[in-house]
Amino acid sequence: MLIEQRSSLKGEISVPGDRSISHRAVMFAALAKGTTEIGGFSMREDCLSTIDCFRKMNVVIEILQNNTIKVQGKGLYGLKPPASNLNAGISGTTLRLLLGVLSGQPFMTTVVREESSLKKPIGKVVYPLRLMGANITSKDDVNYCPLVVSPAKLKGITYELSALETHIKSPILIAGLYADGETTVIESVKSRDHSELMLNYFGADIRVDGLKVTSHSINNLYSQHLYVPGDISIASYFITAGILVPNSDIIVRNVGINPTRTGILDVYRSMGAKIEILNERIVSNEKVADIRATSSSLNAATIESINIPSLIDEIPIIAVAATQARGTTVIKGLAGYKMKESTRVKFITSELLKMGAAVQETEDGMIIEGGKPLKGTVIESYNNQSIVMAMSVAGLVAEGETMIRKAHVLDVVYPEFLRTLNML
């Protein structure tokens, strides 16, 4: 992929549906009685794995035109035993949420992953589910797939989550739909709440009191018409481009602005970015808006550990923005996060250094000294879509040309990225 320095970006675009919401939409629709139509669905490989798993449990799911799917739900207790293993593919989200569902089913199921993901641990999810009574076993180590989930009687628990365990909240709440008594999760920091919002949209009884979230067993969920907003994680690359490239004015339409996901907007505003939220509204229980970003002079910022959950996916592109800010930006609190996050920090640090940025990886984050001009060079993608898109934005402000090697990873996750960028 070849990226050239740009003098201006202008236009209106849209981005693919939010992956986190798409997973939950198809899953909860499958567990609801009646037919649910879902618009704006993300057709990425990981979301298609979720569809495949529920098709194997006798749920009819049609993929229609314009990123719309139709799900003929079976009800909370209507799934059927699959004839073969359920394969979560490369999707950790599919696997985690699926374990919450399967823990309450009256049949045995084996869950597997793609070979490339087999060494990714899943024990942090399994542990609280087993505390609830779930019967989850494995031949060698319950920390890894394949996992066998057998019928069990679930009971409600109270479970305290650390800031590093926010990804296991949803499986616990989902299992709570099938458990006797209340199931309560107490968070140390507010994390993504797509599950709570969507489950209640389908008729569940999820109650939120500050950092305490409680799930109750129910008789059923009920079908709804649902629209998935644009993914703010993908929108962030275009928003950053609009801020960094001179003479730019970009509007990204129909983006999800759930407050648990908009940490990047808060950081950019604190740095002096000109960002406007337009046409804000509620769609399918989620906040949605159009986001306008215009060229801005940025000042450095300090990002503390408490901010990380709301912007964890956007660390690479924030690092790119920080190279163009006045002063030194410090990112803290990344120590202990999933291997994927720490690896991406290494990748983005390495490639920004090639472009002449002053970037240093620390034990728990990054230090970026801004104000140094970037120069185009040959960039490695590491087969990581976040690095490809972040370094593409860096290439827009770098002198000369930037060549990103092995950018074909975008063909799977977001093939329209370059075409959308060229529209501006």
Token pair listed for 415: 């093939």
Active site residues: 313
Whether a cis peptide bond, with omega within 30° of 0, leads into 415 is: no
The model carries a pTM of 0.94
- Distance in angstroms (rounded) separating the CA atoms of residues 128 and 160: 10
Strand 212-215 versus strand 206-209 pairing type: antiparallel
CA separation for the pair 265, 22 (Å, rounded) = 22
315, part of any domain: yes
pLDDT of residue 342: 57
- Domain check: are 33 and 140 in the same one? yes
Residue 162 lies in a domain: no
Return the structure tokens found at 19.
């992956």
Quote the pLDDT of residue 339: 46
Same domain, 267 and 415: yes
Domain for residue 210, yes or no?
Answer: no
281, 335: one domain: yes
Q: Say yes or no: 40 and 121 in one domain.
A: yes
Instruction: Mark the ranges of the chain whose per-residue pLDDT is less than 50.
Output: 339
pLDDT, position 337: 66
- The helix, strand and coil proportions of the chain, stated in percent and rounded to the nearest 5, come to 35, 30, 40
| Residue 97 near residue 91 (C-beta atoms within 8 A) | no
Same domain, 358 and 239: yes
Residue 159 is assigned to a structural domain of this protein: no
Q: Please count the structural domains in the chain.
A: 2
- CATH number of the domain enclosing 400: 3.65.10.10
Residues 96 and 112 in one domain: yes
Q: Is residue 163 part of a domain?
A: no
Residue 184 belongs to some domain of the structure: no
In a domain, 160, yes or no: no
Tokens 């070979």 locate to 115
Domain shared by 400 and 259, yes or no: yes
Q: So what's the pLDDT on residue 297?
A: 97
- pLDDT for position 341: 52
At 396, which amino acid appears? Answer: L
- Give the Cβ contact number of residue 13 at 10 Å: 16
371 shares a domain with 293? yes
Q: Indicate if 308 and 279 belong to the same structural domain.
A: yes
Kindly report, residue by residue over 100-128, the tens digit of the pLDDT: 999 999 999 999 998 777 778 888 999 99
- 322/392 same-domain check: yes
Helix (H) or strand (E) holding 159: strand 158-161
| 174 and 276 together in one domain | no
Closest among 300, 369, 361 to 335, alpha carbons compared: 361
Give 216: exposed, middle or buried? Use CB within 10 Å, 0-12, 13-18, 19+.
Answer: middle
Q: Do 91 and 25 lie in a common domain?
A: yes
The per-residue pLDDT for range 345-383, each reduced to its tens digit, is 999 999 999 999 999 999 889 999 999 999 999 999 999
Return the exposure string of 338-367: e unless at least 16 CB atoms fall within 10 Å of the residue's CB, then b.
Answer: eeebbebbebbbebbebbbbebebeebbbb
Domain of 115 in residue numbering reads as 19-154+168-178+192-205+215-227
